[in-house]
C-alpha cells in the first residue's frame, strides 16, 4: 500500500462527506465523497472486516445520498484490486478519463445514478 502524504486525510475530512462503519467502537471501513465534484474520494475496508458487505453498504449509502442531492453521475479512481468490486456494484470503466492523480495505478470509473 502506498504511504499517504502528510495531511491527506485531514484535507479529505474537511472537503468531503465521510461515512464510517464501526465494530466494537473501532472504525473498520469508511467512504468519502465530494458531491460538489461528483467524486468518490476514498473507500476503505480494513482487512479483518472484508467480505461482510460493509463496502457495498457504504457505497450504496454514498449513491443514495448523491441521488437525493440530484447528482446524476459519480466518478472514482479505483485501485487495480478494487475494479471488480466496483463493477459488481454497477460501476463502469471510463475510457474518456484515462488519467489518474494517484501515485498508484488506477482505473477511472463512472456510475450513472439517474
Which residues, at least 6 apart from 50, have a Cβ–Cβ distance to it below 8 Å?
none
Per-residue pLDDT of the chain (114 residues; tens, 9 = 90+): 445 566 666 776 677 899 999 999 999 999 999 999 999 999 999 999 999 999 999 999 999 999 999 999 999 999 999 999 999 999 999 987 555 455 568 999 999 998
CB-hemisphere CA count at 13 Å for 114?
10
| Dihedral in degrees, nearest 10, Cα atoms 40, 106, 48, 1 | -120
pTM above 0.75, yes or no: yes
The span from the CA of 78 to the CA of 32, in Å, is: 13
Amino acid at each position: 500500500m502506498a504511504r499517504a502524504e502528510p495531511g491527506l486525510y485531514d484535507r479529505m475530512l474537511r472537503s468531503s462527506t465521510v461515512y464510517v462503519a464501526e465494530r466494537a467502537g473501532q472504525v473498520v471501513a469508511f467512504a468519502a465523497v465530494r458531491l460538489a465534484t461528483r467524486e468518490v474520494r476514498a473507500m476503505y475496508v480494513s482487512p479483518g472486516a472484508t467480505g461482510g458487505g460493509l463496502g457495498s453498504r457504504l457505497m450504496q449509502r454514498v449513491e443514495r445520498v448523491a441521488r437525493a442531492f440530484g447528482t446524476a453521475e459519480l466518478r472514482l479512481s479505483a485501485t487495480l484490486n478494487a475494479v471488480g468490486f466496483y463493477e459488481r456494484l454497477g460501476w463502469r470503466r471510463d475510457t474518456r478519463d484515462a488519467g489518474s492523480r494517484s501515485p498508484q495505478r488506477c482505473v477511472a470509473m463512472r456510475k450513472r445514478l439517474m
